[in-house]
Amino acid sequence: PKTIFSGIQPTGVPHLGNYLGALREWVNLQDNATTDTTLIYSLVDLHAITIRQDPKQLRQWKKESLAMLLAIGLDPNRSIIFHQSDVPAHAELMWILSCQASTGYLGRMTQWKDKTANEKGSSEKLKLGLFSYPVLQAADVLVHRTTHVPVGHDQAQHLEFAREVANGFNHTFETDVLFAPETIISPAKRVMSLTDPVAKMSKSHANPKSRILLTDSEEVIRSKVKAAVTDSIDGITYDPERRPGVSNLFDILYHADPRRNDHDQAELVKDLQGSSMRIFKDRVADTVNAAIKDIRARYEDLVHDEGYLQDVAEQGARKANESAAATLREVKNAVGLA
């Protein structure tokens, strides 16, 4: 039997990068899963508060993110979908693992180094939760005895840490209660920002034109793609080093196309070589719109159905609590807490 776990932070409406890099893979895994596979998908709200959130806004984003997970095609009867803070075992296991994890290892994490680079010299402002969140991430995965974790490239290092923590714990307490999970890296590349194509597309970037939201109308998609930063080199070529903007649009076009598996990207590049930038961008906008229009329509219905969303959250919390309870009990036993 397999157990698949993954999470997304409810820090805004998910964007095309979240979808192509992660969420679409979650649905694929669900739709191709055999009956002995357990699928667990979490809205990781405890991770979201590692940076300051407005309480009203966070509550709204939690609801919207849940509606979006359903809109993309996750089925609550097939996948366990839940808010992380509804399952206290995550935070409880995190504490126990924190007493095992080395601060040196955590300090070497790329994301910590990136996020702290601009806060140099002001450790008063740097929060402990931001430093230790890979430990919470390890607990998220380990508490469900996950065997496989689908993530984007940027998360591979944190998964390595989770394996290290699991093996270290088992070794220290002479047990085999924790499973070291395998990583499933998403086939899609990182989707880059439309306004700054050397940075990744992100929910929290200040400029809303930098990302395409899964809720964007056709008109909005068209205008964002039209305004996407490219370059003044003639023609359309694929060259991520010299032409990051155009190449990002190529990647989006290729990965958003449902027929992508029938041809490779080089063919697509050859097809479009002679096009003008306007025609190329139109094609990108059309393809993105076609890929997300049904999601957008389902989302509009779901997000207003408060009763249904609450039922799904309660059902998910109940199942996730059950899934986590056995591991936590055995961990506490191993440590001598129970």
- ∠ CA 27-90-115, nearest 5°, is 80
Total number of residues that touch ligand AQP (CB under 6 A): 18
Amino acid at 319: K
200 is catalytic: yes
d(CA 28, CA 76): 15
Binding mask 100-129 for ligand AQP (x = CB under 6 A): ------------------------------
229/328 with CB nearer ligand AQP: 229
Q: Which residues pair with 150 in a beta bridge?
A: 184
- Which of these ranges, 91-99, 167-175, 196-204, 241-249, lies near ligand AQP under the rule CB under 6 A? 196-204
- What DSSP letter does each residue of 26-75 carry, written as one string? HHHHHHT--TTEEEEEEE-HHHHTTS---HHHHHHHHHHHHHHHHHTT--
Contact flag: residue 212 with ligand AQP (CB under 6 A): no
Query: Is 265 one of the binding residues for ligand AQP (CB under 6 A)?
Result: no
245 binds ligand AQP (CB under 6 A): no
Region binding ligand AQP by CB under 6 A among candidate stretches 4-12, 91-99, 139-147, 252-260: 4-12
Is 226 a catalytic site residue?
A: no
**Considering 2, 115, 209, 332, which one is annotated as catalytic?**
115
Q: Could you say which DSSP state residue 222 is in?
A: H
Shortest distance in whole angstroms from residue 211 CB to ligand AQP: 8
* Residue window 137-176: x/- pattern of binding to ligand AQP, with contact defined by CB under 6 A: --------------xx-xx---------------------
What Cα–Cα distance (Å) separates residue 101 from each residue in 77, 133, 167, 214, 332?
36, 11, 11, 37, 17
Catalytic residue among 200, 224, 281, 319: 200
Residue 139 tokens, joined: 């607990």
- Position 17 contacts ligand AQP (CB under 6 A): yes
| Alpha helix (H) residue ranges in the chain | 16-18, 24-31, 45-48, 55-71, 89-98, 103-107, 110-117, 128-142, 156-172, 218-226, 244-256, 265-272, 277-302, 306-335
CA distances from 117 to 47, 112, 164, 172 (A): 20, 8, 25, 34
Q: Is 90 in the site for ligand AQP (CB under 6 A)?
A: no
Query: Which residues between 20 and 49 bind ligand AQP (CB under 6 A)?
Result: 21-22
Distance, CA of 263 to chain centre: 27
Is residue 270 part of the annotated active site? The answer reads no
Query: What is the nearest approach in angstroms of ligand AQP to the Cβ of residue 23?
Result: 7
Active site residues: 115, 200, 203
Q: Which residues bind ligand AQP (CB under 6 A)?
A: 8-9, 11, 17-18, 21-22, 151-152, 154-155, 190-191, 200-204
